[in-house]
Amino acid sequence: MLALQSVIIPGSPPNLLLGYGGKGFAIIASDTRLSQGYSILSRNTSKLCEINENVMLGTIGCYADNIALKKRIQVQMKHYEFEQERTMPASACASMLSKILYSKRFFPYYCFNLLAGIDENGQGWCWNYDAIGSFKPSRFSQVGTGSSLIAPVLDQQFVGYNTTGEQKERSIEEVQDIIIDCFNCAAERDMFTG
C-alpha cells in the first residue's frame, strides 16, 4: 500500500516544513501560520500543495511568490499530462521544479521548497531546494526558521547518530509522532516561532 500523507500542525512554528520518505509512504508536514516578522497575519494558511497523487509540495517564504510558483507548477503538470497521457513520476516532478526555479534565477521566487513523493518503486523521498533550484534527494529533510533546532533530533532518530542499536525501518505512525514532537520542540525554542 502506497500512502502520501500531509500533516498540518495548527499553531506550530511559522516557516517550518519537514518531510520524510519511507518504504511505501511519504510525509510532508507544515504549520498553518502566516507571519511577517513578529506579526501573525493568519493562523489558517496552508503551505502545502498536492502536485499529483504521488507528490506534494511545501513552500515557505514570500506568500505571493509561493502562490505564483504553485500556479506555474500546476500549469506545467497539466501540460505534461496532456502531452504524455500519464501522471508525472516523482523524480520528474523534482527535476521540473528545479528547472522552474532555475529559469527565474535572475529574479528568483523568494521561497524555499520541500517536495515529498513516492517513486515508481514505492520508495518515499524528499527533495530540498534552495531559491534558485539546486536540490538534493534524501530520506528526510527540513526547511525553515526552526530547522537548525530539529536537525539533531532527526539525525538521531532517522540516521542513528550516537546510538548503539541497529536502525529499523519506521512505520508511518512512528514517523508522524516524531514529526509532531519536532514541531513542538521548535515552537518552544525559536523566538521567531513564538
Q: What is the CATH number of the domain that holds 26?
A: 3.60.20.10
Is the residue at 146 inside a domain? yes
Number of domains into which the chain is organized:
1
3-state secondary structure of 91: helix
* Overall average pLDDT of the 14-26 stretch: 86
How far CA 150 is from CA of 52, 79, 129, 153, 154, in Å, comes to: 28, 38, 18, 5, 6
The rounded mean pLDDT for the chain is 85
Please say whether the beta carbons of 27 and 20 come within 8 A.
yes
Is pLDDT of 79 > 90?
Answer: yes
Is the residue at 194 inside a domain? no
Is the residue at 76 inside a domain? yes
Is the residue at 93 inside a domain? yes
Is the residue at 152 inside a domain? yes
Query: What is the domain extent for residue 148?
Result: 3-189
Is pLDDT of 9 > 80?
Answer: no
pTM of the complete model:
0.86
pLDDT in tens, 150-177: 888 888 888 877 766 777 788 899 999 9
